[in-house]
Amino acid sequence: MHNFVFHNPTKVLFGQGTVPMCGQEARQLGQRVLLVHGRTSAAKSGLLQQVQSSLQDAGMEVVCFGEVQPNPTLTHVHQGITTAKAHNIDVICALGGGSVIDSAKAISAGALVEHDVWKFFTGKKSVKGALPLVAISTMAASGSEMNSGMVLTKTESDLKFGFAHRLLFPRVAIMDPQTTYSVSANYTAYGAIDALAHLLEFYLTTTQTGIHVQEQYMEGLARSIVYGCDAALARPDDYEARATLMWAAGLALNGMAAAGLGKVGFPMHLIEHSLSALYDIPHGAGLAIIIPGWLRSNAEVIPDRISRFFSRAFSLEFSGADAAQQAIEVFEKWLFTMGLPTTLAAIGIHSGQIENLAENSLPLARIWRIREYDKEKISKILFACRPL
């Protein structure tokens, strides 16, 4: 196991009835709050009004900034930064899933600088400060409420980049599983796939040995994600299922899983970012397509790790020379039963589009320092994703 530093400064309030605590938590961090939220779901459910009232009751001046979309855009974040500066905002509250929280993080850093926030994503500028953030999570998926990462799409150039910095950890994460009851079946599954992918990529890209704690930590979380997703799809208002899924998703990418693993990569996310940037499909749906192709491309390279991960996740045993292939087939069948696309063909992408997809992935591969993922290697994986 490698030496490591683990530091996660996010305070977590988890459980039923925690959302109304947002006002008292935010008030300790500032006076003028920018309430960042999505398009319609928070308003329809009454959550938006509940959060706004809590902030106002705590004596805060509230400015609402909504309309965050899935695959959030740089253009919309620019508008949020302008709003934050115009109202002299000193704390941000994000109400929503990963897209909303990521946008809030970008606004929190961008509000303190004069340059384009995109320079953080391209490595041209470093974050020196950020407005404090209270994140109220309403979806089990990215774990953005407990980590320092964010993802944005620059639509003008069809680039979707991810970036992380220690100053972007939310100060407070409020996680009430009841807020996820209304998440659709599709998006419940998308979120589970995203959380599972975070573990899968750490587990399969590390070359470190002697990581017994981390292996069992990731295997246990993977099993909890599969269980929680299945149970939540069967019974959408099952509190324990939703709680299991929400907590496991947060723990999957809060820094703990990667501790001691040494160099790891996010090649599946790398390729998926190009897929959703170019075709604007949900991130989880893109991962459901990319992961099986990546696994098939690496089944002969790391067969034992692939079969062991899915053996633990699904509580099954795979044996024989084709154990890895058996594991991949079980995973694909699980995706299929949830109605998710598992091939590029399923979303209408044909082989003639592979070159452009691979080319689009290269800038992020350079920034993420996984240069071994060149155009040829990425293309091979994309063809393994079975285009038309």
Q: Is 0.95 surpassed by the pTM of this model?
A: yes
**Do 162 and 109 have their domain in common?**
yes
Angstrom distance (rounded) from CA 334 to CA 338:
7
CATH number assigned to the domain comprising residue 241: 1.20.1090.10
Tens digit of each residue's pLDDT (9 = 90 or more) over 228-255: 999 999 999 999 999 999 999 999 999 9
Tokens linked to 355: 């070159």
Angstrom distance (rounded) from CA 368 to CA 133:
25
Task: Answer with the one of 179, 210, 235 that is the final residue of a domain.
Answer: 179
Average confidence score pLDDT of the chain:
97
CATH number assigned to the domain comprising residue 63: 3.40.50.1970
Q: Is residue 1 part of a domain?
A: no
Q: Is residue 2 part of a domain?
A: no
Q: Is residue 6 part of a domain?
A: no
If we measure between CA atoms, which residue out of 242, 239, 328 comes closest to residue 292? Answer: 328
Q: Is residue 3 part of a domain?
A: no
**Do 127 and 258 have their domain in common?**
no
**Do 173 and 270 have their domain in common?**
no
**Do 163 and 306 have their domain in common?**
no
Tens digit of each residue's pLDDT (9 = 90 or more) over 14-71: 999 999 999 999 999 999 999 999 988 899 999 999 999 999 999 999 999 999 999 9
**Do 162 and 260 have their domain in common?**
no
Domain that holds residue 167: 11-179
Tokens linked to 182: 């209304």
Task: Answer with the one of 179, 200, 233 that is the final residue of a domain.
Answer: 179
**Do 130 and 208 have their domain in common?**
no
Low-confidence ranges of the chain (pLDDT < 70): none
Q: What separation, in Å, do the N-terminal and C-terminal C-alpha atoms of the chain show?
A: 43
**Do 165 and 243 have their domain in common?**
no
Cβ atoms of 275 and 357 closer than 8 Å: yes
Task: Answer with the one of 179, 198, 217 that is the final residue of a domain.
Answer: 179
**Do 63 and 170 have their domain in common?**
yes
Helix (H, G, I), strand (E, B) or coil at 70: coil
Sign of the dihedral defined by the CA atoms of residues 14, 19, 85, 59, in that order? negative
Angle 267-279/375-384 helices, nearest 10 degrees? 80
The count of structural domains within the chain is 2
State the residue for tokens 């490591």.
4
**Do 284 and 306 have their domain in common?**
yes
**Do 163 and 192 have their domain in common?**
no
